[in-house]
């Protein structure tokens, strides 16, 4: 069994599950927790990172389609088995309390739901908005 969540690096708390980096770069500031796992394949590519949201979303979802849910699930399951914990928290930088920001972690969550039927809840202050479907 695998249970996925998303959050930002600065809002993550260890009781939420195993932290997993899904960004190209690592956080520069010191974290209050150890970040041992990285799935770089879930990070957006530099070629479209600065594109407007519709173009970014299309390119990122195409990358996820190429990887496929089976490969992604197997990779994440490896982490879950290593840690003996089914809850994984996919982390990136964006603070979604800022209305001007959007993030690939929520695009991934929507793609995962579309492909597998499994919810990926956002943890933190905006969780209620995501669960109500008012944000990506």
Residue 60's Cβ-side half-sphere holds a number of Cα atoms within 13 Å equal to 28
pTM metric for this prediction: 0.90
Per-residue pLDDT of the chain in tens (136 residues, 90 and over written 9): 899 999 999 999 999 999 999 999 999 989 999 999 999 999 999 999 889 999 999 999 999 999 999 999 999 999 999 999 999 999 999 888 877 778 899 999 999 999 999 999 999 765 444 444 444 4
What six digits make up the tokens of 103? 């993030």
Closest CA to 126 of 27, 42, 11: 11
CA distance 109 to 135: 11
Q: What angle, rounded to 10 degrees, do the helices at 53-67 and 69-83 form?
A: 80
Burial string for 2-23 (b: 16+ CB within 10 Å, else e) reads eebbbbbbebbeeebbbbbbbb
């Amino acid at each position: 069994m695998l249970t996925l969540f998303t959050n930002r690096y600065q809002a993550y708390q260890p009781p939420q599950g195993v932290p997993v980096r899904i960004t190209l770069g690592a956080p520069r500031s010191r974290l209050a927790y150890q970040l041992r796992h990285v799935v770089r394949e879930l990070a957006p590519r530099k070629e479209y990172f600065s594109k407007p949201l519709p173009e970014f979303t299309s390119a990122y979802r195409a990358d996820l389609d190429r990887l496929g849910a089976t490969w992604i699930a197997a990779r994440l399951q490896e982490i879950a088995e290593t840690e003996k914990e089914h809850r994984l928290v996919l982390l990136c930088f964006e603070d979604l309390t800022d209305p001007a920001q959007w993030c690939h972690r929520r695009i991934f969550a929507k793609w995962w739901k579309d492909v597998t039927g499994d919810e990926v809840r956002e943890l933190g202050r905006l969780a209620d908005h995501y669960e109500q479907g008012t944000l990506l």
